[in-house]
Amino acid sequence: MNFPSLFSPLKVGPYQLKHRLALAPLTRMRAAKPSLAPRPLNTEYYAQRATPGGLLIAEASPVMATGFGAPGVPGIYTEAQTSGWREVVDAVHAKGGVIFLQLWHVGRVSHSSFQPGGVLPVAPSAVAIADLKTGTADGKAVPYETPRALETAEIPGIIDAYRQAAKNALKAGFDGVEIHGANGYLIEQFLQSHTNLRTDQYGGSIENRTRFLMEVTKAVIEVWGADRVGVRLSPYGIANGSGEPDPMPLYTHAIEQLNPLGLAYLHFIEPRSSGTGRAEVNRQNVPSAMVLFRPIWKGVLITAGGFTGETADAAIRDGLADMIAFGRIFISNPDLPRRLQHGFPLTPYNRATFYGGEEAGYTDYPEHDELEKA
């Protein structure tokens, strides 16, 4: 057998997994319109990638209507969306898989054309993303707008939206949820000093900047119990205008605050792959999140970003991570666990089909056995 560490069992929360290879949460922009509910095509995509005792982390799903920054992204705040996700979950469970849903609010990584009533996106502070462009709802490339700073009194409502989304995910039958605190989205905007200029209890000190993350996490735990909740962070990431001048104090404090909660897992995005949604990158000579923070985090650690079978197996063997999430090569290899385990060749992915569209580049990648018969 190839990669014995990667294909050893692991307990994540209450779930006994048969291998340590997860599907990373991947935005694909193929939800039904205008409901933004998952549809049969999405069900097929996830079912293709489900394996007995394997973990899938479903794509980031906004917890409220203000949380969107892209077209065709599935939500988790309406009955139709919850019902659509139920179809996905049932299909994954039918193949013996375990599936978590990633809860999302993009904050300033949006445009007024996606916002109800065409208002400005919200953020911790009125700080625009510089030197990058975004797309409008009708596909034009424009500079990012300066977001509206949230009033202190509005923040509990957003936390309530995460709580309700967690309830909806539970109703849809998911096995757990992951809180998206990475890649420059709303939670990370609260965490980082250049996007959080607040002077209330959510800004200033590291403790205050971590408060929103902790309040969201505790709200979700109220619904699920801690052992079915994960958190994703991207220390040293640069996606969507993110970046902390000195990440170690901030993320050390955040992880130390998360430690006692008893979460299912902590999930890192490795810095070498930060921002891969926009371009093909593999940054060299950057810090490793798993190396830096493995000594601090006491629970199950998942990490993601540019791994191969060899490097994934080595990271687990060396104790730097407990599980590896794969993204791009899991898109083009729906049977990725079997291919790695048996040394079968991998199908290359087509970046042009990552976002939006129908079957092409989504559900039409063949399994290895189909290629052998061709």
Contact 17, 10 (CB under 8 A): yes
Is residue 151 classed exposed, middle or buried when 0-12, 13-18 and 19+ CB atoms within 10 A define those classes?
exposed
Name the DSSP class of 231: E
Longest dimension (CA), the chain: 64
Q: Which residues 6+ apart lie within 8 Å of 355 measured at CB? A: 27, 28, 29, 70
3 lies in some domain:
no
366 lies in some domain:
yes
Using the predicted structure, report yes or no on whether residue 274 has a pLDDT greater than 60: no
Of 45, 185, 265, 355, catalytic: 185
For residue 369, count other CB atoms closer than 10 A to its CB.
Answer: 11
What pLDDT is recorded for position 279? 52
364 lies in some domain:
yes
Band the pLDDT of 301: cuts 50, 70, 90: very high
Using the predicted structure, report yes or no on whether residue 283 has a pLDDT greater than 90: no
Using the predicted structure, report yes or no on whether residue 48 has a pLDDT greater than 60: yes
The share of the chain scoring above pLDDT 70, in percent, equals 96
| Average pLDDT of span 90-110 | 98
125 lies in some domain:
yes
Can you give the pTM of this predicted structure?
Answer: 0.96
Report the candidate in 231, 186, 192 with the shortest Cα–Cα distance to residue 62: 186
What pLDDT is recorded for position 370? 76
1 lies in some domain:
no
Contact 292, 235 (CB under 8 A): yes
Name the DSSP class of 206: H
| Average pLDDT of span 200-215 | 98
| Phi/psi-derived region of residue 171, left when phi > 0, alpha when psi is between -120 and 50, beta in every other case | alpha
How big is the CA angle at 18 (ends 170 and 288), to the nearest 5 degrees? 85
46 is catalytic: no
68 lies in some domain:
yes
User: Helix (H) and strand (E) counts for the chain?
Assistant: 12, 14
269 lies in some domain:
yes
Using the predicted structure, report yes or no on whether residue 125 has a pLDDT greater than 90: yes
Band the pLDDT of 369: cuts 50, 70, 90: confident
Domain around 136? 10-373
266 lies in some domain:
yes
* Upstream peptide bond of 34 is cis (omega within 30 degrees of 0): yes
Using the predicted structure, report yes or no on whether residue 281 has a pLDDT greater than 60: no
Contact 221, 177 (CB under 8 A): no
Provide the domain count of the chain. Answer: 1
What pLDDT is recorded for position 81? 98
CATH, residue 195: 3.20.20.70
Using the predicted structure, report yes or no on whether residue 3 has a pLDDT greater than 90: yes
Mean pLDDT (the chain, rounded): 95
